[in-house]
Chains A and B, each alone.
Chain A
Amino acid sequence: MNSLVMIIVGCALINNVVLNQFLGICSFLGVSKQMKASASLGGAVIFVLTIASAVASLLYDYILKPFDLDYMKTIVFILVIAALVQIVEMFLKKTSPGLYKALGIYLPLITTNCAVLGVALTNVQDEYNFIESVFAGFGTALGYTIAIVLLAGVRGRIDESSIPKPLRGAPVVLLSAALMSIAFMGFGGL
């Protein structure tokens, strides 16, 4: 139990997926403009990443490993993730229109979010079992959500201040991300 909590803390805070490992930068920078959109995307990422880690872990343990197809993992994972996102999208559309409306438009964006493939591959590298993989996926997605919601809050403030012209737009957002990254380095001491 304790080790599972450590996995979540480690993935969410210490090795934060965006601020420390630089996965999912595109959506992190792009979507953080609006708080509401950031929270919805965070929710969608938690949803997809947890399911994707579970599926990838099962595939690896029961198909790729027994048949000695370890080298196929990149191809298999990316296809499974792409298909999975499609299925989740269709499933949500049919069964829970409310949730679909909240998360739906962000789902296709997640297919190519490198965080999903990154987590699936890291889980294999760290030799996590099924339960650990699910927790690692959830923890990573939680870290992503924390980071993007925090950045959205910071950007709300930035929009109201006057900033030197060359810094406007991307540079000031990146500088905020740099400061957040420094702050998150503090978790390394945990």
Chain B
Amino acid sequence: MNKYIERIYNGVVKENPTFILMLGMCPTLAVSTSTMNGIGMGISTTAVLILSNVIISALRKIIPDEVRLPAYIVIVATLVTITELLIEAYIPALYDALGIYIPLIVVNCIILGRAEAYANKNTVGLAAFDGIGMGLGFTGALAIVGFLRELLGAGTVFGHNILPKGVEPIGIFVKAPGAFLVLAIVIMVLNALNIENRGKDMVNGCDGCCANCAKAKKDCGKEGAA
């Protein structure tokens, strides 16, 4: 049982996908305008991640190595389409708020990254818990970033106004630049606290998203040397 709890701890704290691994930055920046949007995105991604981890782990002995990436992409894209249709049907408000970023879960580095790094080497149970852990870590991180931006930019918490009269919120934090600002501050704090993170890798060389990471990285080394 311990192994399973370790997976969750690993996803939430030790290898938090957003704050430590710095993966899936596009949705983190784009939809974290409020706490609820962040949580909605986090849960949608978590659902896809758990299911994709389970399916890929279950099929890991069947999928030939050479065509594994296209196979993973089809699996993930199918799950994302199902999720999108469900959200559209049952939570239309969230569907409108997240818009195009729901189908873009397909290209979220975290999902293919976990498939490559974990799910295709481990048992179904462990892969499921890995998905839960990573998903919780991602959801938590999005909620934190969303909370900060909502509080600073709109002066609200979960949509309730908490600012005293006469205090103006700093509108820029809910606009596009605010996302970069908040992320910069978060990484700065991590650096100042000496918490090891992949922020440096993110801005040095081709830390490309992500299916072709290995290939891209190799080729980029060549370019750097040339």
Contacts and interface: CB of A to CB of B under 8 A. Distances in A.
Nearest to A120: B103
Interface in A48-81: 71-75, 78-79
Highest count of chain B CB atoms <10 Å: which of A24, A31, A32, A72: A31
A114 B179 contact: no
A30 interface: yes
B102 to A, nearest CB: 9
A19 interface: yes
A29 B172 contact: no
Interface string B186-212: 011101100000011011111111111
A165 interface: yes
B203 A175 contact: no
A170 B203 contact: yes
B85 interface: yes
A49 B41 CA distance: 26
B211 A112 contact: yes
Tell me the dominant secondary structure on chain A's binding face. Answer: helix
Interface string A6-41: 000000000000011111111101111100010000
Interface stretch (A90-98, A103-111, A129-137, A138-146): A103-111
Interface in B106-138: 106-107, 109, 112
B47 interface: no
Interface core residue of A19, A27, A105 (most chain B CB under 10 Å)? A105
Contacts of B104: 23, 114, 117-118, 121
Interface residues of A, number: 52
A154 interface: no
Q: Please indicate which of the listed interface residues A82, A125, A170, A171 has the most CB atoms of chain B within 10 Å of its own CB.
A: A170
A117 B107 contact: yes
A177 B180 contact: yes
Contact of B73 (A82, A125, A177, A185): A82
B98 interface: no
Contacts of B99: 125
A79 B85 contact: no
Interface of B: 22, 25-27, 29-30, 70, 73-74, 77-78, 80-81, 84-85, 99-100, 103-104, 106-107, 109, 112, 172, 175-181, 183-185, 187-189, 191-192, 199-200, 202-212, 215-216, 219-220, 222-223
Interface of A: 19-27, 29-33, 37, 71-75, 78-79, 82, 105, 108-109, 111-114, 117-118, 121-122, 125, 165-175, 177-179, 181-182, 185
